[in-house]
């Protein structure tokens, strides 16, 4: 068998879901996905394509997905934030995915339920893909909201990206940028070096 991107993805999906969900023809099979980043949105799209009978519900609080890849180019002005932004409404409509526009609060694995505010969402299979978050308290002085806005990390694309770009553009000639590379493991090993190179070029 020739291993195409599609067959590879199907094999990976089938392995993850141990034949159960992908092979099932029951219209009632509910897959709930928490988080619509690359991980959650890709799972939603391909599960639906491989088995259109599945009911897929994506729980994601943001209006749009803003990609981290290429966000460094937004900071230095060679791309616009619109270029790396995709609306969840268009994505979910295109692929027939239900979208709950809110954050998941708790998971009850015994009852197979996710609580979202006052609502309860039942699932047969659950994918948990909320990404990472920041532990600001690990760095002295970064615990308060004002410091987090004044010193943007821009490792999460969106408002942080805009802030760092604004600061860069407001710098006087000869201004100094201090940058610290996170300790491994972090989610994009080349990201800081790419950023340093683009800043130097800017």
Contact with ligand FAD (CB under 6 A) among 17, 30, 40, 152: 40
Residue 138 is classified by DSSP as G
Q: With binding defined as CB under 6 A, does residue 66 bind ligand FAD?
A: no
Contact with ligand FAD (CB under 6 A) among 169, 187, 197, 202: 187
Closest distance of CB 194 from ligand FAD, Å: 7
Q: With binding defined as CB under 6 A, does residue 129 bind ligand FAD?
A: yes
CB 156 within 8 A of CB 65: no
Q: With binding defined as CB under 6 A, does residue 39 bind ligand FAD?
A: yes
Near ligand FAD by CB under 6 A, which window of 8-16, 33-41, 91-99, 171-179?
A: 33-41
Closest distance of CB 95 from ligand FAD, Å: 16
Phi, psi of 105 (to 5 degrees): -95, -55
Which residue, chain included where needed, has tokens 């609306």? 87
CB 114 within 8 A of CB 32: yes
Torsion sign over Cα 25, 27, 32, 36? positive
Q: With binding defined as CB under 6 A, does residue 51 bind ligand FAD?
A: no
| Shortest-Cβ-distance residue relative to ligand FAD | 37
Q: Which is nearer to ligand FAD, 35 or 152 (CB)?
A: 35
Q: Supply 147's token pair.
A: 């410091």
Q: Supply 35's token pair.
A: 């988080």
Q: With binding defined as CB under 6 A, does residue 153 bind ligand FAD?
A: no
Q: Is 101 exposed, middle or buried (0-12, 13-18, 19+ CB in 10 A)?
A: middle
- Angle between helical axes of 5-16 and 38-50 (0-180°, round to 10): 100
Residues at the interface with ligand FAD (CB under 6 A): 34-40, 59-62, 68-69, 71-72, 103-104, 129-131, 155, 187-188, 191
């Amino acid at each position: 068998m020739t291993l195409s991107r599609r067959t590879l993805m199907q094999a990976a999906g089938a392995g993850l879901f141990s034949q159960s969900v992908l092979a099932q023809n029951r219209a009632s099979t509910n897959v709930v996905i928490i988080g619509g980043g690359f991980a959650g949105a890709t799972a939603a799209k391909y599960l639906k394509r491989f088995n259109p009978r599945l009911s897929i519900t994506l729980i994601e609080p943001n209006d749009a997905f803003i990609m981290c890849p290429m966000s460094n180019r937004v900071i230095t002005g060679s791309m616009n934030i619109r270029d790396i932004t995709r609306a969840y409404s268009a994505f979910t409509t295109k692929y027939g995915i239900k979208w709950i526009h809110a954050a998941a609060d708790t998971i009850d694995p015994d009852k197979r339920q996710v609580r979202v505010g006052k609502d309860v969402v039942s699932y047969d299979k659950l994918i948990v893909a909320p990404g990472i978050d920041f532990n600001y308290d690990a760095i002295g002085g970064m615990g308060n909201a004002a410091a987090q806005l004044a010193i943007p990390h821009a490792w999460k694309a969106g408002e942080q990206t805009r802030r760092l770009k604004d600061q860069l553009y407001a710098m006087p000639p000869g201004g100094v940028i201090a940058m610290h590379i996170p300790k491994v493991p972090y989610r994009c090993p080349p990201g800081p070096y790419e950023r340093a190179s683009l800043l130097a070029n800017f």
